[in-house]
Amino acid sequence: MIMDRLSDAHSLVELLGDWTTAGGPLYRKLAGAVAKGIEVGDLPAGERLPSERDLAKLLTVSRATVVAAYDELRGKGLVDSVRGSGTRVSARPRVNGAHGRVPGGRATSIFQRLADGPGPIISLAMAIEPAAPELAEVYRDLADGGELTELMTDVGYHPRGYPPLRAAVAEHYTAVGLPTDADEVLITTGAQQVIGLVAQMYLRPGSTVVVESPSWPGCLDVFRAAGARLVGVPLDDEGVRADRLAAVFAEERPVLTYLMPTFHNPTGQMMSAARRRRVAELAARYNVPVLEDNAYSGFHGRTGAAPPPIGAFARGNAEILSVGSVAKSVWGGLRIGWVRGPSAIVTRLARYKVRADLGSPVLDQALTARLLPRLEEITATRAATTRARLDHTRALLAEQLPSWRWRTPDGGSALWVELPDTSAQIFAQVALRHGVEAVPGSATDPTGAHDNHIRVPFSFPIEVITELVRRLAGAWADLQRHGPVTDSTPVV
């Protein structure tokens, strides 16, 4: 299934972000958000804007509101309208300012929320928690012991990674069923950097990449930026569908496959051991490299330990790269990840890593080396809190939003919620006015198969979850009561 279904209206809505939080009448808020996109260069000269009707439908405002906003922009000389050609950004020069939104792809709102930081809106763009208390313990141990003094005399450049951490990662994989040597490990600045390095090494314009449908929007944008063509494969109860994967491998001859077998994002599913073995067999048969991202393995829901990584089932010429990170299990601010794979491939990736940043921060790596042997202990400690928040979220949703549907995740930190007979992108605009920033399913699967889904993290404190569901219920009632606005709705 080809996953590159992007439209002008959807793309513009992504750029607008939380536009309704500005002051003034609604049409001026909309005009201001579009003007900002023009002035910073996100909407270049000549870019055609969506029709009033299409944009009004996606924003759940009246057509009159969009007409008034476009009139405002025309009055400022920012857009021109020609009968038969629609409304376009005017051709006068623009200044690329320093305060524009993060551009590009379907993960715009997620990356922009990272850039903007917290605010009065409850954002569902991220599922994050404060640092695990064990981080402070190992930080003090590092400072009080002799290792810090030794580190300060070190050259500080370890492009392949701090040797004790590479050894710890190797031991970690060996313990979970994937025998590993240190020379098969590359340390990176988070799991996201691995995706970027792999894209640089494997992809060229026109390359085909197989991904799960749905998938993590951030990786989709990285692959698109490399010029790749994306083909999606759906999931079943055991993970990515093996029959569809085999068919795509045979028909498309992809250069890479990206999978999230352990607590898939956004669904929270766990790929079974049998399915992992089958994926490894298909990778070997069709000679397709597999990038397995297990960065979410730190969160456990109703299941116990995960099966071994897909790499543990590799046979013959199967080229499987296994990705991990401590960002989810320990702290998002500890930007340390890694990739495990055949030593020759890891060596090639290391060259791209050197070119990117010369090596990840050594102090952070030293902390991670001390934390990694305690990873199981850390996740077990957090499990009770995670389960309590999940149970609280489920109970509130069942009570206040009984028509919504979800599958209790095997793990992870969010519910993948289906909205009955409703576009999630339209609901997201209503939710924004109720103080919730939702990421619609179209960002995770641009084919349209999940346009009626949203991801609802339960990583917030209990009191925030309570307020979140109250706001979501208010937005849903608003949408159900009034429905999508019509052209007769007054300008607001």
Handedness of CA 254, 215, 238, 316 (dihedral sign): positive
Peptide bond into 266 cis (omega under 30): yes
Amino acid 481: pLDDT: 87
* Domain parsing of the chain, residue ranges: 9-89, 109-129+378-482, 133-376
Rounded Cα distance between 177 and 340, Å, is 13
Rounded Cα distance between 279 and 153, Å, is 46
Amino acid 111: pLDDT: 54
Is the CB of residue 458 less than 8 Å from the CB of residue 29? no
Lowest average pLDDT, out of 185-199, 433-447, 451-465, goes to: 433-447
Amino acid 230: pLDDT: 96
Please state, as a whole number, how many other Cβ atoms lie within 10 Å of the Cβ of residue 98: 6
Give the C-alpha distances (Å, rounded to integers) separating 122 from 13, 21, 343, 434.
Answer: 19, 12, 44, 10
Question: Does residue 484 have a pLDDT over 70?
Answer: no
Question: Confidence class of residue 447 from pLDDT cuts 50, 70 and 90?
Answer: confident
Handedness of CA 72, 78, 81, 87 (dihedral sign): negative
Amino acid 275: pLDDT: 98
DSSP 67-127: HHHHHHHHHTTSEEEETTTEEEE-SS-----S-PPPPSSS-HHHHHHHHH---SSEE-S--
Is the CB of residue 147 less than 8 Å from the CB of residue 137? no
Q: 257, 228, 222, 266: which is closest to 107 by C-alpha? A: 222
- pLDDT tens string 386-401: 899 999 999 999 999 9
Amino acid 388: pLDDT: 93
% of the chain with per-residue pLDDT over 90:
68
Radius of gyration from C-alpha coordinates of the chain: 24
Please state, as a whole number, how many other Cβ atoms lie within 10 Å of the Cβ of residue 134: 17
Q: How many CA atoms are closer than 13 Å to the CA of 483, on its beta-carbon side?
A: 5
Rounded Cα distance between 257 and 159, Å, is 26
Amino acid 409: pLDDT: 93
396-443-131-389 Cα dihedral, nearest 10 degrees: 10
Rounded Cα distance between 211 and 282, Å, is 15
Between helix 63-75 and helix 52-59 the angle, nearest 10°, is: 120
Is the CB of residue 173 less than 8 Å from the CB of residue 188? no
Amino acid 98: pLDDT: 45
Rounded Cα distance between 295 and 262, Å, is 8
> Which architecture does CATH list for 133-376?
3-Layer(aba) Sandwich (3.40)
Amino acid 11: pLDDT: 79
In one-letter notation, the amino acid at residue 340 is: R
Average pLDDT, the chain: 89
Instruction: Give the pLDDT mean for 31-39.
Output: 90
Third-level CATH fold of 9-89: Arc Repressor Mutant, subunit A (1.10.10)
Please state, as a whole number, how many other Cβ atoms lie within 10 Å of the Cβ of residue 356: 16
Amino acid 15: pLDDT: 83
Tokens read off for 333: 């601010």
> Which architecture does CATH list for 109-129+378-482?
Alpha-Beta Complex (3.90)
Rounded Cα distance between 417 and 444, Å, is 13
Is 376 buried (19+), middle (13-18) or exposed (0-12) by CB count in 10 A? middle
Give the residues across from 436 on adjacent strands.
Answer: 122
Instruction: Give the pLDDT mean for 418-426.
Output: 94
Question: Confidence class of residue 42 from pLDDT cuts 50, 70 and 90?
Answer: confident
Residue 278, Cα to own-chain centre: how many angstroms?
Answer: 26
Peptide bond into 214 cis (omega under 30): yes
Q: 177 versus 94: which is more confidently predicted?
A: 177
Tokens read off for 393: 């979220």
Q: 464, 332, 454: which is closest to 389 by C-alpha? A: 464
3-state secondary structure at position 285: helix
3-state secondary structure at position 373: helix
- pLDDT tens string 147-188: 888 888 888 899 999 999 999 999 999 999 999 999 999 999
Question: Does residue 333 have a pLDDT over 70?
Answer: yes
Question: Confidence class of residue 237 from pLDDT cuts 50, 70 and 90?
Answer: very high
Question: Does residue 6 have a pLDDT over 50?
Answer: no
Rounded Cα distance between 224 and 111, Å, is 16
Question: Confidence class of residue 296 from pLDDT cuts 50, 70 and 90?
Answer: confident
